[in-house]
Amino acid sequence: MSMVLIVEDEILEQDFLKSVVLQELTKKDTLLTCQSGVEAIKLAKQYQPNIIIMDIMIPELDGLSAIEEIRKFLPNTSIIILSAWSDFQYAQKAINLQVLEYLLKPIKPAVFKQVFCKTLASITQSPVVEKTANQKTIEPRCRQYFIEESIKYINEHFTEKLTLQMVSSKIFMNPKYFSRIFKKEMGVSFSEYIMNLRIKHACKLLEKTNYPAYRIAIECGFSDASYFNRVFYSHMNMTPKSYRKYIHTSNFKN
């Protein structure tokens, strides 16, 4: 169960933040709101939220001062700062207070949603949670976002040395959990997805270039030509040389 506290004194802004957050929370989660730094400290002590979304310019006690007090009893809570000011001193103090994100107003809904989803995932997949028998899951919309982000990253880097740990760390997700939901969402395992991309890219290079097998292997992210040949044969039921000959012959006939 996640506990989220929004601290924002502008009602329209607070309503906007609530609307985005509520889309990502489940019925078991709790959302709290308040409008001042003093109220924020009081609610934080009482409910111990694991995510706090805090505006800087709020009544009674400014957001950074409120966070400074909250950090004394909630050192590990994930905090997102909202500010209309890009002042370096504010940002520097936020860093010292271990704030997760520093967002400048006006905030685009898509940007805030991405940041909140990452934050939600980071607390859901923390090492402490991982050790419990009933590991929490990310809300479906967040899960879809993380898969989309991982696919985007993989598609841009599949020709490089790419590991499950590298990709999962990019989207702030536990590797084992990421592996499981990746296969569930994509229908193939992480390694199979990357291998399919590499073979598809190899086919294009065999069709459009005269590169030798060892160069195509390197271009597609394989460690050596012999391994590339074995993998290519297992996917295409023919060697790279045979595939190139087959394609050229087919093109000649057409």
Task: Give residue-wise pLDDT tens across range 204-225.
Answer: 999 999 999 899 999 999 988 8
Cis-peptide, bond into residue 59, ω within 30° of zero: no
Mean pLDDT, residues 136-153 taken together: 70
Task: Give residue-wise pLDDT tens across range 87-97.
Answer: 656 666 777 78
Report the pLDDT value the prediction gives residue 129, as an integer from 0 to 100: 43
Distance between CA atoms of residues 140 and 13, nearest Å: 25
Q: Is the pLDDT confidence value at 38 over 90? A: yes
Q: Is the pLDDT confidence value at 171 over 60? A: yes
Give Cα separations from 57 to 83, 105, 150, 225 (angstroms).
7, 12, 35, 60
Report the pLDDT value the prediction gives residue 135, as an integer from 0 to 100: 36
Confidence of residue 185 (pLDDT cuts 50, 70, 90): confident
Higher pLDDT, 131 or 143: 143
Q: Is the pLDDT confidence value at 65 over 70? A: yes
Report the pLDDT value the prediction gives residue 136, as an integer from 0 to 100: 44
The percent of residues above 90 in pLDDT, for the chain, comes to 51
Distance between CA atoms of residues 16 and 35, nearest Å: 14
Mean pLDDT, residues 80-109 taken together: 77
- Residue (of 48, 10, 22, 11) closest to 116 by Cα position: 22
Report the pLDDT value the prediction gives residue 248, as an integer from 0 to 100: 83
pTM of the model: 0.54
Distance between CA atoms of residues 154 and 177, nearest Å: 17
Q: Is the pLDDT confidence value at 183 over 50? A: yes
Tokens 């190139």, residue located? 244
Instruction: Yes or no: say if 85 and 56 are a contact pair by the CB < 8 Å rule.
Output: yes
Instruction: Yes or no: say if 66 and 41 are a contact pair by the CB < 8 Å rule.
Output: yes
Report the pLDDT value the prediction gives residue 156, as an integer from 0 to 100: 92
Instruction: Yes or no: say if 60 and 37 are a contact pair by the CB < 8 Å rule.
Output: yes
Report the pLDDT value the prediction gives residue 90, as an integer from 0 to 100: 67
Q: Is the pLDDT confidence value at 43 over 80? A: yes
Report the pLDDT value the prediction gives residue 224, as an integer from 0 to 100: 86
Report the pLDDT value the prediction gives residue 157, as an integer from 0 to 100: 93
Distance between CA atoms of residues 61 and 9, nearest Å: 12
Mean pLDDT (the chain) is: 85
